[in-house]
Structure 1
């Protein structure tokens, strides 16, 4: 914007170098930049903590945006709104004039709007003969549009932090529950171990959990609790193995004492033994060999195989994900991805761009895990126009993952093969 468009405040409000720099930086809009005003306002609401604005200030910003006639903010169409104090107060839910001025000052200080005061301090517009706006005085939304990319990235980062913090809180709750029930089981079964010390250490850690959990103070406590849980599980498993070994030894001893070498069952094979001998002489099928390999008790029975957690997916290294899905790097902080947190931040931005609803993405994070859900979003972005509805496709993958019918490996390998197709042999 030209330097002559910078106007000093009217009345007793002083001009400062900081205000001038904010004004100049806020109105440096790249050519062709447009944003939907309500989607941008939602990003401002999500990034409220990072921008340093209050909920009442957001109410005033909402009212100012309602005076902008178009849905798309564009520098070519003008970005100055000029409501009167009365109309602005009505659209700000009846906010008092003094409160309105205070929160307008907060928005200016945060660099979301700027003032363009007229010679007499009034807000008005001067139109040409064709009806177009020649000059307008009021509040400029240019800083909001100029910082659109910054605000969206900030909102995506804060959303990723909230998701990570929510996951940590869930892990902490599960860990606390496990420790309490494992302690109760150890005491009830009279398992040998230093359970009193573990209980004291556990309760001491509970006292250290802060009322306001953050990504800085929660991970160390979670790591210590998981260490206690692992130690308890190892102690209980060792006790169980010792009991099984003791039981097997006693059964073997009784078997030796009750054996009779002159028994009829050993000197004269019965019907069951003859049938088993005939089965042994016949060639074994693949199914029998497979079943025999799965039996851990010498062929006397088949051990039940427990199905793993259906929603848990095998994770892949971040480098493999970025090699298969390089397009996601453009949406990372600073145009690059260097950690899983950066990938999850970029995935939130891509989710908004592909119009995937927040509930659909949160369900995917809950079922697959935040890292795997971000990987799936990177794969969806990489496939581009092959997917008609990204939200519906993500919900379908989430349902399949919940049933154990979806794996990340084939999707990533397909993208890698698409990038590096095999060279056909020339005959």
Structure 2
């Protein structure tokens, strides 16, 4: 696997000057005291999950050959990386680099454990939404590698045309004569505001407002605005009509869709294999608007970020920008994970080769990043349970929505 070598000569010069500073790393140094070149130049420790470890093995070996810096790939459970990173970095026992999700960023920054990554002009080589997702307070804190979002999955045999609006979709679902006009998985207790968010945005009710640079403003809670109230009333109407059903979980929604019981399924790329294995000819469409404005789902962007305590900053930056950020590695990560690449050249190639990836990619390109600010934690606490109560008809929808907004605001202020 060949990687981007355009900055390696420059790195070699930098490393020659700073090789003494690079001996050891935040994870415990060179690991053996050998006088061989790799140990003399230092060691990078990289936390990865199992799938990413397999992809990075070859570029890590190439990096060592090119620079003399060893790369120690340590496999971790993805769900445990953030908390372990936060607890271990301050002690000097954490890694130099870790894989993670962009919405961890606010917590990582406020805990002082993550460092900005200097992408320079190469930031323009990535999809804009990916760089926006990994930005915080005007700085980029990671090298993104994948973009993931939901979209409308359509059974083309049951619905030949993509619907532009919610009403169009329900009309097509009715005409199909299937058991369900539309499917989306909802948690019976907590709802699923992630999946419902594109409909909410179509009413002009984002969670937070944004600053001039496009970043989220935690002081501008928008969820309780007039658009939010209209969305709450819409939720109640769809619940009363039986179109939104809290008793249909994500698993049940998938089972019913692959069983041909609905022409439409709001979901992500993780459910594509099940539909294809069932022999369904699917298309991926934009989420239809229910409130008149664009229906924008959240986009999640995974990437690699650098420890604020790394003693190998030069090597870590080189590995991130010229190896993880190469088209070859980004493509390999896409082939393993099935999510659209963040690097634009790899993204364009994937989109051209696969109409399913193209469908999700086109929706993701105009989606909005999941808020990466710490205040988002206060939103999740009240959001889904309120939506669920509204869908179930457990009170006046506007009153329930306004109570939720007030509870969120109070939680943020604490």
Identify the structure with the greater helix proportion. 1
Identify the structure with the greater strand proportion. 2
TM bucket, shorter chain: under 0.3
- TM-score normalised according to structure 2 size: 0.20
- TM-score normalised according to structure 1 size: 0.19
| Structure showing greater relative contact order (alpha-carbon pairs closer than 8 Å, 6 or more residues apart) | 2
Structure 1 or 2, whichever has the larger Rg, is: 1
